[in-house]
Every structure is written in structure tokens, then in C-alpha cells.
């Protein structure tokens, strides 16, 4: 009896619970997903969606990242530096790059940008000002990403609305978009930048969101890339495709140069906000380093940055990875990115001439220096602003870089252990015989080239600790680059005096106060200036690609000492292996040279490969999966 | 815990029974091999630098089965029986392949049914004729004759001729494939029928009483060099 009662009750309960209508039971607004119409009604919500899209931007070099994606490694290639980490020697041991290197094909990101643009356009509840600014930012990010794609892949499918798959038809062929012409992508970027610049805020203090200045800087850089591909692409006719997906006709060059000059001049004349070169500190090298460190409103040079904030979850490990070993905040974590001598040799003397770092006199005898600094004296201030040379100051301490003692008989007394003590000949008290920062071949995390990186290296207390990290910003666009873009465009348009004017602004900030005359300008000068000013900012690969000199500079044959010190300042100077400069202290009591320094060019022993850039590297491989899913995609040339 | 033999046997039986299934496919067993030839003469290239691609249609997505030629100009691929198409991608090799009117490389149809040898006929820009590489302990000398094969609108000049020597049998301009090399710029060649080069053999450890030598001709605007056969020089 009792059993029947129970069963009835349960059945009734179940029955009544199931009586609810489907519509009231199933159509509950989800509480963990915000529907589009709600999201696009509140500016704060739209900004959070946009924040994600900003975070997903792609840069060639970036300060953050871990493990195999570690930020420092993205700065370390192309013989401009030596990677002092056991797991990263492959960078200097390979004999070239895979055709797939540097490829990008993130159409998920493009779809999300297109959806954002579509939804923002459709929104009715946002204030008009907010709506148009968000829309312009979405279009800026999309144009910027297409720029990233076209630099790496050439012409790509230009998709400007979210594609919809019709499951009922089951036909994907309508979604197969062929590659656009390379010039079409550049035209798109330029026209987008022009279209959105007035919808973006005219405010030079906004750095991490798109502004008018950022849009114009993007336009200037894109136009100069397109122009140089058109002009210099003529020298490599094999790097083209008949459909124009790769390669731009030479006739378009001057049009693009004009666009680049116009966009750059709009920033230079102040029409996009008050941007100017950073000239704050009296010491020009410290000043140059501070361009990348100073995030206050005093810094009017940076235009568009990837910002970080310590203690707020967005930091990076660049300083942890690259701080000098002897001054490390995090014992045993340091010294990975070591600028090469190839790069250091590129800095010219204050009289605007090029000369090798003087290690020997005309007959091959070593030159003796009282201080380690002396060998670098009288050079471009950007050298000491970009590179920590031996004995340089960081966080109030001096780096200790020297490779050992050279004895009276010419032999070397050194050790495999950094900072080790040994007794000098004729003495019994052990003294330090090698720097605590190296250089010692094969000893990771200390310099092996004789230099440490200084650009982006954060002197803030704790920035080198893993627990805190650094919040130095990565500058994507800055005023000096705009000046260099303007100079290049003006030079190519035959306006040498205009070009010299812009170039001299950048150079005088670096202590090169003797102005270049209009007649001094050459293509080599333009290339050189970008190499030293914009070093470690993710430019060198794309610059050398667009000038079509990458296959000449990285030609796959070893770099000899003669190659290293000849053709300085030439655009096509060979640089396939990163060399180092090792200081030695003389121990020869009784000689006038006792205690002085000599320097030797030295190829770190880990360097066994030589960079070889093939024609097939100019445009990254589009993988088989992409091409078989969309057979209308044509292959890259020379692959 | 007591180990129960019965359970163990049961588990072992299950494992064996599950793995009894036959493999889906036999491994590919037909070898396609051959070499690059011009009128029957082999064309030497740099090892692993000149690729070719095989395509097989009819099995879902199509992707290249890619590989590359050995330095003697030979190639081989282990394939399933079936129909394939072979191309040499544009811009590869010191020669011209056959092209379609659109400029895309034309394909060679291959039907695999057992092993097959297929020489690929190409037209090089130049041929290295009568190469002679000789030498003693100090020096390696080479003489050869360069014959221009393509003389129509696609003709190209010689950018440089090189003599490479290496300790191992892999000899090319690549960083780790030569210990010494010498070159003459194309503009400095006076007589195409008698080109002479000489390279000093550097000292190296461990010492050996032989080196391998090879002549490479760099054609202007073409990345890959055409090479003579590798010669072992004992001294």
C-alpha cells in the first residue's frame, strides 16, 4: 500500500514538472554568454570585445611569450645578434630558413574582426561617437592584420565580410576566394587608413589604441613597402607571379612613394597630434634608450604601442631573459640576446664616415686601449643606446665583459667558468681571469658576442624578477620611423633636400650633428639609417625583403673577418653569421701596455651555419592544407 | 595482493585478440626512380635543393608528395601503385622544365605498377662539357667548356663559374659543403671553350689524402647552379 502511494507521488511530481511549456523551459537567456545586441549596446562591453581583438594583433617581434615562443628569440635572428641559450643555438646553426618561416594565415582573426565590424555597424543603441570610433578601430586592426599578411604572404584573399556556409546547399565552392593582387592588398590598407583617420581620435597621448596618428603611420609604412616592392622588385623578376599575387608593376612605384610621403608629412606637420622626437635626457645614448622606456606623457615619440602593466597581469620577460648576468635580478636567468659585432660595426663615426671598430693597426698589430670604452669612442650615440658594450652601466652597475688575460708571450690565460680565479704567471694569489659576464664559448646566459642588448631593457627595480616581470611597452609605430619613411619616399621621388632634412632630424638626435647634404643621400644611406635606428624593432626582415636585398645580404656563404669589416654602410654587405668582439686584458709587467685592453673579432664557436635566404623565402609558403581546401590559391614563386 | 594468473591470462588474451586486426594498407612498395637528363646526359645539381612534387588525385585533399634531387641529378620515391603527376615547381633547377601557356609547370603523368625508371628530360641553360678536375696536395685545377643550350628569348648569361672542393662527397656552394672555393665572374670569362680555375687546398683536421671537387655554373637570375659530376682527387 505504502509502496503504491510513493510511486504515485513520484509519478505525479515528474509529470507536473514536465508540464511546463517548451518555450518557457528552454528559452532561458544564457547567463554566461552575452548576446550580440546586449554586448553592442554598452560601450564598456564593446571595449572588452575590442580589447581581445587588440590583444590578438600579430607582430614580428614581441616582448612577451614563453618557451619556444619566448619574446627575446623573435629579436635574435638575421645575424644581428647571437642567441646565448642552449636550446636556441639552432638559430645560428641552420643554413637557411624553411619556406614556411614567418608565415601567417589567421582567417579566424579576420572573421572575428569582420563580425565585430558588422555587429558594430548594426548596433542601434550605441552613441554615434562611440559607434564610429569602435568601427574605425575594428577597421584599423583589420587593415593592420592584412598588412601583416601581405608582408609575409603577398596577395591574400581579401575577405571583408563574415563568410556564411550554407549547410542546406552543402557547397563550399562559393566560399573559395582566390588571392588578390599584392598591390590590391596594399591599396586596401591605404584606402582604409584614409577612410578611418578622421573617425579616430586626434590625440597623441593615446598610445595603445588606434588614433589618427597610428592610421597615418600604418598608411605611410604600407605605402613605402608597396613602393619599394614595385621599384626594387624589378631587379628580381623571378619573385613574381603572372597574376600579380606576388610582385607589383614598377609603374606604380612613384604613386606609392607619393602616398607614403603625404601620409608621413601629415604626421610630421602635426596634423595628427603633437608628435616629436624624444629629446629629454642630456646623455644622447641614455636618451635613445629612454625612448623605449619612458611611458609618461613626456614621450611624444611613440605613436602606437603594445602596452604592458606590472602587477596587473600583463607583463613580459624580456628583461628577465636579456639582463646582464652579473646584474641579474633572477640568478641564472639572463643574457640571451647578444647583439653581434656585425651590427655594432654598422654604427658610423660622428663625422658621418664608416670605419670598422679599430682592433688592429694597418700592419695587423693590436691596438691598446686604457679603458674598454675607448674603442667605441666617437660613434653614433645609438650604439651605446641599443647595445651594452663592455663596462657599460646598467642599474648603476657595470657589466663585466672580458675574455681573459693575454700574457707577454701572446698566450691567453682564461677559464671556462665565468669570473673564475687563477694565479697569473709569477704570482701566487689567484685573481679573476675572465669576466663574470663572459664571454666564454658555449657558456649560455652570459654574452658570447661581447655585447648585451640595451633596447627595451628595463632598469626598474624588480623588472628582472620572474615574479614581477617588466612592463616596458613594445613600440609598433614611432615618430622616428615616420621621419625615415618620409625621407625614403622623398629620396626615391628625387627630393633629396627634403629627404636629407628628415634624415638629419633623426641623426642629430643621435649626436650626428654634421648634417648630410642632399648630394650625400644614397640608397645605402637610407638602408643603413633604418638598420641602426630601428634595430630589434621587427623591421630588418621586411625591409630587406621589400628592397629585394635579402638574398644578397644572407647569401649562405660564411662571413669572414674581411667581410665583416669591409663594405660597411653598404646595403648589401654580407652578414650571414653573427660575430663577436672579445676584450682581453694585457698582463705583461714591465711593458707600457700592462693592464691595457686589446680586442679581437671572434666568431662564437656555436655559430656553424650561415644564413641563406633563397628566392623561395621572399614569400612564405602557403601550406598544402590551405591550398587543397581552396584550390584557387596559387602557389608562391620559387617553392 | 595476490596475483591472479587467470586474470592476467584473460587480459593478455584480450590484448592479443584486439591486435589481431589486419593493417589497413600494405606499405608502399613500388619505386619510382630516375634522373635529370638532357639528351641522355645527366645534369648535376646541388644536393637537396632542387625539389620535385608528385600529386595523386582521387583520395580527398590533394597535396604534394615533395622530395628533391640528389646531387647526381637522381631521384627516387617509394609509392603505391596508381596514377601520379610529377612537376618540378617554377623557378627551381638550373634548367627549364616544360611549361603550360599560362606559365605554370606542365605535369608528367606517371602510372605506377611495380618499379619504374623514368628519366626527366629538361633543357638546361648551359651544359658543362669535358670537365677535368685534377690536382695534387696543394692545389686543385679544373678546366671545362661551357656550352650555351638555351639561346632563344629565355637565354641567360653566366653570372659566375665556381670550383668547389670538400672533404666529403657532398660538394656545393652551401656553407657546410665546401672547404674552399674559387670563382670567375661571367664577365671575366674570355673563352667559353676553355675555362680554367684553380683553388688552393686548405689545411684541415683530421687530414686526409683526398678531396672531392666539382664545378658549378651560376646562371644570372637562376638560384640553382648546374654542376659537373663529383670527382675524387687523391694526392
pLDDT digits (tens, 9 = 90+) for A24-82: 777 777 788 888 888 888 899 999 999 999 999 998 888 887 766 778 888 888 999 99
Contact A628 B61 (CB under 8 A): yes
Both B142 and B215 in a single domain?
Answer: yes
Fold of A101-165+176-269: 1.25.40
ipTM above 0.90, yes or no: no
Round to whole Å and give the CA distance between A320 and A467: 10
Q: What is the pLDDT of residue B192?
A: 86
Q: Do A637 and B91 count as a contact with CB atoms less than 8 A apart? A: yes
Instruction: Identify the CA nearest to A617 among candidates A524, A526, A555.
Output: A555
Report the pLDDT averaged over residues A546-575.
Answer: 90
Residue B220 · residue B125 · CB < 8 Å: no
Residues B188 and B157 in one domain: yes
Residue A172 scores a pLDDT above 90: no
The CATH number for B40's domain is 2.60.40.1120
| pLDDT confidence band for A498 (50 / 70 / 90) | very high
**One domain, residues B92 and B137:** no
If asked whether residues B97 and B147 sit together in one domain, one would say no
Q: How, if at all, do strands B30-38 and B116-117 pair?
A: parallel
Q: Look up the domain containing B226 and give its range.
A: 125-234
Q: Which residue has the higher pLDDT, B102 or A94?
A: A94
**Based on the domain organization, do B85 and B136 belong to the same domain?**
no
**Percent of all residues in chain B with a pLDDT value above 70, rounded to a whole number:** 95
Instruction: Tell me the three state secondary structure of residue B162.
Output: strand
d(CA B27, CA A26): 53
- Which residues does A623 contact at the CB level (< 8 Å), separation at least 6? A100, A103, A105
- Residues B116, B177 within the same domain: no
Q: Which residues of B are less than 8 Å from A242 in CB distance?
A: 102-103
Is residue B168 in a domain? Answer: yes
pLDDT in tens, B66-97: 889 998 999 999 998 989 999 888 888 888 88
Query: Taking 60 as the threshold, does the pLDDT of residue B1 lie above it?
Result: no
User: What pLDDT, on the 0 to 100 scale, is given for residue A68?
Assistant: 67
Q: Are A43 and A130 in contact (CB under 8 A)?
A: yes
d(CA B71, CA B171): 8
The candidate with the shortest Cα–Cα distance to A195, out of A207, A184, A185, A187, is A187
Of B63, B88, B123, the residue at which a domain comes to its end is B123
Average of per-residue pLDDT values in chain B: 86
User: Which pLDDT score is estimated for A168?
Assistant: 84
What's the grid cell of residue A228?
619599394
Measured distance CA(A485)–CA(A257) in Å, rounded: 9
Asked if B125 and B156 count as a contact pair (C-beta separation under 8 A), the reply is yes
Query: Percentage of residues in chain A with pLDDT exceeding 70?
Result: 99
The enclosing domain of B170 has a CATH number of 2.60.40.2060
Inside any domain, residue B82: yes
Model confidence over A422-439: pLDDT tens digits? 888 888 899 999 999 889
| pLDDT tens per residue, range A516-550 | 999 989 999 999 999 999 999 999 999 999 999 99
Lowest mean pLDDT among A3-7, A186-190, A450-454, A470-474: A3-7
For residues A505, A506, A512, A514, the Cα torsion angle rounded to the nearest 10 degrees is -30
- Please tell me whether residues B67 and B43 are part of one structural domain: yes
Do residues B133 and B91 share a domain?
A: no
Please tell me whether residues B135 and B97 are part of one structural domain.
no
**Which of the two residues, B107 and A112, has the higher pLDDT score?**
A112
| Residues B219, B132 share a domain | yes
Q: Which of A372, A416, A386 is nearest to A322 (CA)?
A: A386
Indicate if B209 and B130 belong to the same structural domain.
Answer: yes
Residue B56 CA to residue B85 CA, distance in Å, equals 7
Kindly report which listed range (A354-363, A415-424, B93-102) carries the lowest average pLDDT score.
B93-102
Q: Is residue B198 part of a domain?
A: yes
| pLDDT greater than 90 at residue B104 | no
Given CB atoms, is B175 within the 8 Å cutoff of chain A?
yes
CATH of domain A321-550+559-605: 1.25.40.390
Contacts of A622 (CB under 8 A, 6+ apart): A103, A105, A153, A633, A635, A636
Segment B124-141 mean pLDDT: 87
| Alpha helix segments (H runs only) across A323-393 | 341-345, 381-386
What is the DSSP annotation of A570-636?
-TT----S--EEEEEEEE-TTSTTTT-EEEEEE--TT-----B--GGGSSPPPPHHHHHHSTTSPPP
Find, among A607, A633, A631, A455, the residue nearest to A539 by Cα.
Answer: A455
**B 72-131 → A contacts, CB under 8 A:** 89-92, 102-103
Residue from A425, A418, A409 nearest A441 by CA: A418
Q: Is A379 helix (H, G, I), strand (E, B) or coil?
A: strand
Write down which residue in B91, B123, B155 finishes a domain: B123
pLDDT tens for residues A286-344?
999 999 999 888 999 999 999 999 888 888 888 988 899 988 888 778 888 999 999 99
- Angle, helices A523-533 vs A496-509, to 10°: value is 30
Asked whether the beta carbons of residue A628 and residue B223 sit closer than 8 angstroms, the reply is: no
* Mean pLDDT score, A8-16: 74
pLDDT of residue B13: 78
CA A133, distance to chain mean position in Å, is 27
Domain termination site, one of B88, B123, B158 = B123
Q: Count Cα neighbours of B9 within 13 Å in the Cβ-side half-sphere.
A: 3
- A271 beta partners: A273
B103, B164, B175: best mutation site toward chain A, by most A Cβ within 10 Å?
B175
Q: What's the pLDDT band for A347 if we cut at 50, 70, 90?
A: very high
Q: Do A627 and B63 touch (CB under 8 A)?
A: yes
Is the residue at B4 inside a domain? no
Q: For A106-122, what is the mean pLDDT?
A: 94
Task: List, for residues A233-254, the tens digit of each pLDDT value.
Answer: 999 888 988 889 999 999 999 9
Query: With 0-12 CB in 10 A as exposed, 13-18 as middle and 19+ as buried, what is A170?
Result: exposed
Residue B8 placed within a domain: no
Q: Could you tell me the maximum CA-CA distance found in chain A, to the nearest angstrom?
A: 118
- Domain count of the fold of chain B: 2
- Shared-domain flag, residues B150 and B223: yes
| CB-based contact B61 A624, cutoff 8 Å | yes
Give the burial string for A393-410 (b: 16+ CB within 10 Å, else e): ebeeebbbbbbbbbbeee
pLDDT at site A286:
92
Confidence of residue B138 (pLDDT cuts 50, 70, 90): confident
Residue A630 touches partner B, C-beta closer than 8 Å = no
- Asked whether the predicted pLDDT for residue B218 surpasses 60, the reply is yes
Q: Where are the domain boundaries for CATH 1.25.40.390 in chain A?
A: 101-165+176-269, 321-550+559-605
Amino acid at each position: 500500500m505504502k509502496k503504491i502511494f510513493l510511486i504515485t507521488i513520484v509519478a505525479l511530481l515528474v509529470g507536473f514538472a514536465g508540464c511546463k511549456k517548451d518555450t518557457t523551459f528552454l528559452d532561458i537567456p544564457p547567463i554566461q554568454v552575452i548576446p550580440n545586441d546586449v554586448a553592442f549596446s554598452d560601450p564598456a562591453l564593446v571595449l572588452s570585445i575590442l580589447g581581445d581583438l587588440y590583444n590578438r594583433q600579430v607582430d614580428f617581434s614581441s616582448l612577451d611569450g614563453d618557451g619556444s615562443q619566448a619574446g627575446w628569440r623573435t629579436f635574435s635572428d638575421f645575424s644581428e645578434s647571437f642567441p646565448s641559450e642552449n636550446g636556441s643555438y639552432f638559430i645560428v646553426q641552420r643554413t637557411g630558413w624553411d619556406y614556411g618561416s614567418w608565415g601567417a594565415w589567421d582567417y579566424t582573426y579576420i572573421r572575428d574582426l569582420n563580425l565585430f565590424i558588422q555587429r558594430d555597424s548594426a548596433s542601434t543603441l550605441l552613441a554615434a561617437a562611440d559607434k564610429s570610433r569602435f568601427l574605425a578601430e575594428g577597421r584599423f586592426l583589420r587593415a593592420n592584420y592584412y598588412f601583416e599578411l601581405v608582408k609575409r604572404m603577398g596577395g591574400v584573399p581579401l575577405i571583408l565580410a563574415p563568410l556564411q556556409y550554407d549547410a542546406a546547399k552543402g557547397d563550399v565552392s562559393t566560399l573559395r576566394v582566390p588571392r588578390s593582387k599584392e598591390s590590391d592588398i596594399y591599396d586596401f590598407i591605404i584606402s582604409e587608413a584614409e577612410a578611418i583617420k578622421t573617425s579616430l581620435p586626434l590625440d597623441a597621448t593615446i598610445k595603445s589604441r588606434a588614433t589618427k596618428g597610428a592610421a597615418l603611420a600604418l598608411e605611410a609604412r604600407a605605402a613605402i613597402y608597396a613602393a619599394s616592392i614595385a621599384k626594387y622588385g624589378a631587379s628580381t623578376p623571378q619573385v613574381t607571379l603572372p597574376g600579380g599575387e606576388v610582385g607589383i608593376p614598377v609603374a606604380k612605384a612613384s604613386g606609392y612613394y607619393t602616398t607614403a610621403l603625404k601620409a608621413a608629412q601629415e604626421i610630421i606637420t602635426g596634423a595628427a597630434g603633437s608628435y616629436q622626437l624624444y629629446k629629454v635626457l642630456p646623455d644622447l645614448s641614455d636618451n635613445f634608450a629612454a625612448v623605449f622606456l619612458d611611458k609618461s606623457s613626456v614621450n611624444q615619440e611613440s605613436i602606437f604601442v603594445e602596452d604592458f602593466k606590472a602587477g596587473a597581469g600583463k607583463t613580459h620577460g624580456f628583461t628577465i631573459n636579456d639582463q646582464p648576468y652579473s646584474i641579474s635580478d633572477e640568478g641564472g636567468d639572463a643574457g640571451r640576446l647578444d647583439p653581434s659585432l656585425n651590427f655594432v660595426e654598422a654604427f658610423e663615426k660622428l663625422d658621418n664616415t664608416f670605419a670598422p671598430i679599430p682592433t688592429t693597426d694597418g700592419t695587423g698589430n693590436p691596438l691598446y686601449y686604457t679603458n674598454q670604452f675607448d674603442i667605441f669612442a666617437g660613434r653614433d650615440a645609438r650604439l651605446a643606446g641599443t647595445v651594452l658594450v663592455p663596462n657599460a652601466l646598467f642599474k648603476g652597475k657595470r657589466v663585466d665583459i672580458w675574455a681573459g688575460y693575454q700574457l707577454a708571450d701572446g698566450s691567453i690565460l682564461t677559464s671556462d667558468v665565468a669570473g673564475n680565479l687563477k694565479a697569473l704567471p709569477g704570482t701566487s694569489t689567484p685573481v679573476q681571469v675572465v669576466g663574470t659576464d663572459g664571454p666564454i664559448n658555449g657558456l649560455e646566459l652570459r654574452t658570447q658576442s661581447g655585447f648585451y642588448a640595451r633596447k627595451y631593457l628595463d632598469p626598474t627595480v624588480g623588472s628582472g624578477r620572474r615574479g614581477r616581470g617588466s612592463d616596458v611597452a613594445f613600440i609598433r609605430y614611432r615618430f622616428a620611423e615616420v621621419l625615415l619613411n618620409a625621407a625614403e619616399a622623398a629620396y626615391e621621388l628625387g627630393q633629396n633636400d627634403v629627404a636629407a632634412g628628415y634624415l638629419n632630424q633623426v641623426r642629430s638626435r643621435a649626436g650626428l650633428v654634421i648634417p648630410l647634404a642632399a648630394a650625400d643621400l644614397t640608397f645605402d644611406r637610407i638602408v643603413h639609417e633604418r638598420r641602426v635606428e630601428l634595430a630589434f624593432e621587427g623591421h630588418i626582415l621586411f625591409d630587406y625583403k621589400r628592397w629585394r636585398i635579402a638574398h644578397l645580404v644572407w647569401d649562405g656563404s660564411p662571413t669572414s673577418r674581411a667581410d665583416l669589416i669591409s663594405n660597411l654602410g653598404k646595403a648589401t654587405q654580407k652578414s650571414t653569421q653573427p660575430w663577436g668582439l672579445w676584450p682581453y686584458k694585457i698582463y705583461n709587467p714591465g711593458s707600457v701596455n700592462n693592464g691595457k685592453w686589446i680586442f679581437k673579432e671572434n666568431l662564437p664557436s656555436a655559430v656553424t651555419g650561415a644564413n641563406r635566404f633563397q628566392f623561395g623565402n621572399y614569400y612564405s609558403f602557403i601550406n598544402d592544407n590551405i591550398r587543397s581546401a581552396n584550390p584557387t590559391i596559387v602557389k608562391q614563386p620559387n617553392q | 595482493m595476490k596475483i591472479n594468473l587467470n586474470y592476467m591470462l584473460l587480459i593478455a588474451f584480450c590484448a592479443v585478440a584486439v591486435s589481431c586486426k589486419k593493417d589497413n594498407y600494405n606499405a608502399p612498395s613500388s619505386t619510382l626512380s630516375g634522373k635529370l637528363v638532357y639528351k641522355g646526359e645527366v645534369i648535376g645539381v646541388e644536393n637537396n635543393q632542387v625539389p620535385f612534387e608528385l600529386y595523386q588525385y582521387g583520395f580527398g585533399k590533394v597535396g604534394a608528395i615533395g622530395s628533391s634531387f640528389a646531387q647526381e641529378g637522381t631521384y627516387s620515391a617509394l609509392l603505391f601503385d596508381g596514377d601520379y603527376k610529377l612537376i618540378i615547381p617554377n623557378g627551381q633547377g638550373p634548367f627549364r622544365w616544360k611549361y603550360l601557356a599560362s606559365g605554370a609547370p606542365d605535369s608528367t603523368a606517371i602510372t605506377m605498377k611495380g618499379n619504374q625508371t623514368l628519366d626527366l628530360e629538361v633543357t638546361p641553360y648551359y651544359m658543362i662539357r669535358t670537365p677535368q678536375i685534377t690536382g695534387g696536395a696543394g692545389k686543385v685545377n679544373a678546366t671545362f667548356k661551357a656550352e650555351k643550350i638555351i639561346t632563344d628569348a629565355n637565354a641567360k648569361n653566366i653570372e659566375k663559374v665556381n670550383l668547389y672542393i670538400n672533404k666529403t662527397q657532398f660538394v656545393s656552394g652551401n656553407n657546410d659543403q665546401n672547404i674552399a672555393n674559387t670563382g670567375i665572374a661571367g664577365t671575366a670569362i674570355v673563352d667559353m671553350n676553355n675555362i680554367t680555375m684553380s683553388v688552393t687546398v686548405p689545411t684541415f683536421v683530421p687530414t686526409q689524402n683526398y678531396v672531392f671537387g666539382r664545378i658549378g655554373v651560376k646562371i644570372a637570375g637562376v638560384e640553382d647552379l648546374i654542376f659537373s659530376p663529383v670527382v675524387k682527387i687523391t694526392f
